[in-house]
């Protein structure tokens, strides 16, 4: 069996190599591969250089602010920039559609802005040409084109009877053709794999972490290519002719690459509709008004806090308190507003999770979806990475606001200013005590729980197709 299997694989390998179609396809793929590598590398370094320089400028301006009231500094605010992960060179994921900068200020949680899509033409909706896109979308089409007649041509030419007359078995023929198609696919995949490995090696700042991600990426893409080769050979073996095999494979490609991703996304939005930004902001504002206004001294909620403080400290007015009363109220107001915002945000994120789970469940019908989800996650360019940035930015914003409130409580007097008094302010030296925003990527340890579903789906596809082959071996007919 082993000798026949490798003989069949070698014969099919030579047949494809001698065809006139392979060289143009390889040339086109390599050109696109080179373009995707250069543009991805250039975009990554250009974007990160801009974002890091802007973050440094924000820090410089923050520390260079003159002496002033700490609450004014809280409203002066801070800008946080999201740095691109090195592996986003390989898989852009959602990078072009999610924002990369957010303005952080007291009492308010702003949205992340300045996505690349907002500054791009409408052509971006067709997708960026990335290395991952070439492997996920274009490579299946090429494999199907090169493998659609792997078995059906033998049947049409009458050579199938000759092969079985010489003692060849269906198992040898099916797996020999699959092995040959895998070898041919490696001509397309290996250059992309070398580029991916180079990204992991040359980004030395996160060497071990990047190599771990690269190793997993190479593994899941190898399984994916194996799935595609098995599908191509299996469809060719069960089709009455090469033309019908090609049409079936093209139909599968359209279903996996276009129809299912679009339809599951639309269905998710329909079944789990998310509120508009206006409705989201209005709901938060409604809860804030109901809770109270920390800037209004006559607000019932905050007046009750004032009365309780006066009783606890046994004083007659807030001016007699051992800390700045306004700073204390701002601290309480910031805590309440942050809790309200986070409560509404968590509800919104739960809706998004339900939408995404529906799309992820389609991976059982679509191996491209299974691969895409895992690939984006490992490249740090999926929705989870975007959420992780938002959480870090909100934690930094809350710490900044409360630090300014604590400075006000500790260093600003309760005494009312006269008409000719200079406004209260503190030294600028306190601004530098606040740490700069330092975005941290999700680690492989944090990613592993969410990656298992992708691994299992791809392995299930591979095992399922091998089981189908086992059934076909027993049922396929020569004619």
In the chain, where are the structural domains located? 2-415+424-475
Residue 75 has pLDDT above 80, yes or no: yes
Which string of DSSP letters, residue by residue, matches 402-443? HHHHHHHHHHS--SPPPTTSPPP-B-GGGGGGSPPP---PPP
Beta-carbon contacts of residue 367 (< 8 Å; ≥ 6 apart):
224, 227, 228, 256, 457, 458, 461
Nearest to 409 by CA among 384, 439, 430, 440: 430
Query: Would you say 286 and 391 are in contact if contact means Cβ atoms under 8 Å apart?
Result: no
Query: Would you say 367 and 74 are in contact if contact means Cβ atoms under 8 Å apart?
Result: no
Share of residues in the chain with pLDDT > 90 (%): 55
Specify the pTM. 0.90
On the CB side of 319, CA atoms within 13 Å amount to 3
Mean pLDDT of 448-458: 84
What pLDDT does residue 13 have?
Answer: 92
Phi, psi of 113 (to 5 degrees): -120, 180
Residue 39 has pLDDT above 90, yes or no: yes
Q: How confident is the model at residue 204 (pLDDT cuts 50, 70, 90)?
A: low
Query: Would you say 409 and 330 are in contact if contact means Cβ atoms under 8 Å apart?
Result: no
Residue 162, number of CB atoms within 10 A of its CB: 11
Mean pLDDT of 169-174: 91
DSSP 86: G
Phi, psi of 414 (to 5 degrees): -85, -10
What pLDDT does residue 163 have?
Answer: 84
On the CB side of 369, CA atoms within 13 Å amount to 24
Longest dimension (CA), the chain: 109
Q: For 206-264, what is each residue's pLDDT tens digit? A: 777 888 899 999 999 999 999 999 999 999 999 989 999 999 999 999 999 999 999 99
Q: How far apart are CA 356 and CA 350, in angstroms?
A: 10
Q: Tell me what the pLDDT averaged over the chain comes to.
A: 89
CA 336, distance to chain mean position in Å, is 31
Q: How far apart are CA 186 and CA 147, in angstroms?
A: 14
Tokens of 181: 């198609």
């Amino acid at each position: 069996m082993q000798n026949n299997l490798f003989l069949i694989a070698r014969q099919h390998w030579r047949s494809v190599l001698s065809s006139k179609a392979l060289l143009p396809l390889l040339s086109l793929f390599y050109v696109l591969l080179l373009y995707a590598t250069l543009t991805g590398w250039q975009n990554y370094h250009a974007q990160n250089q801009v974002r890091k320089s802007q973050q440094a400028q924000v820090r410089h301006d923050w520390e260079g602010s003159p002496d002033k009231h700490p609450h004014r500094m809280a409203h002066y605010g801070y800008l946080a920039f999201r740095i691109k992960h090195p592996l986003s060179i390989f898989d852009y994921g959602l990078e072009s559609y999610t924002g990369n900068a957010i303005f952080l200020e007291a009492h308010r949680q702003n949205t992340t802005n300045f996505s690349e899509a907002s500054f791009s033409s409408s052509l971006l909706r067709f997708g960026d040409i990335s290395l991952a896109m070439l492997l996920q979308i274009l490579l299946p089409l090429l494999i199907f084109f090169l493998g659609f007649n792997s078995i059906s041509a033998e049947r049409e030419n009458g050579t199938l009877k000759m092969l079985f007359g010489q003692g060849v078995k269906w198992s040898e023929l099916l797996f020999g053709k699959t092995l040959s198609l895998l070898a041919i696919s490696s001509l397309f995949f290996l250059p992309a794999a070398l580029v991916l490995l180079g990204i992991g090696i040359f980004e030395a700042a996160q060497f071990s972490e990047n190599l771990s991600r690269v190793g997993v990426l190479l593994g899941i893409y190898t399984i994916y290519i194996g799935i595609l080769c098995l599908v191509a050979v299996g469809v060719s073996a069960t089709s009455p002719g090469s033309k019908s095999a090609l049409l079936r494979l093209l139909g599968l490609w359209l279903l996996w690459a276009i129809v299912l991703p679009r339809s599951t996304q639309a269905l998710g939005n329909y079944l789990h509709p998310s509120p508009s930004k206006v409705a989201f902001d209005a709901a938060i504002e409604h809860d804030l008004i109901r809770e109270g206004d920390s800037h209004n001294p006559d607000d019932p909620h905050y007046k009750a806090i004032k009365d309780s403080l006066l009783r606890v400290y046994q004083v007659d007015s807030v001016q007699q308190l051992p800390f700045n009363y306004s700073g204390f109220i701002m601290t309480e107001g910031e805590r309440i507003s942050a809790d309200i915002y986070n409560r509404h945000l968590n509800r919104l994120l739960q809706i998004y999770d339900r939408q995404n789970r529906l799309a992820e469940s389609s991976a059982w019908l679509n191996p491209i979806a299974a691969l895409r989800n895992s690939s984006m996650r490992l490249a740090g360019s999926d929705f989870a990475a975007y959420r992780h940035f938002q959480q870090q930015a909100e934690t930094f914003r809350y710490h900044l606001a409360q630090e300014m409130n604590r400075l006000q409580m500790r260093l600003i007097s309760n005494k009312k200013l006269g008409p000719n008094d200079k406004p209260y302010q503190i030294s600028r030296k306190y601004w530098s005590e606040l740490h700069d925003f330092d975005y941290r990527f999700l680690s492989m340890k944090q990613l592993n729980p969410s990656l298992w579903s992708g691994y299992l789906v791809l392995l299930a596809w591979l095992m399922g197709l091998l089981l189908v082959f086992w059934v076909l071996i027993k049922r396929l007919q020569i004619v």
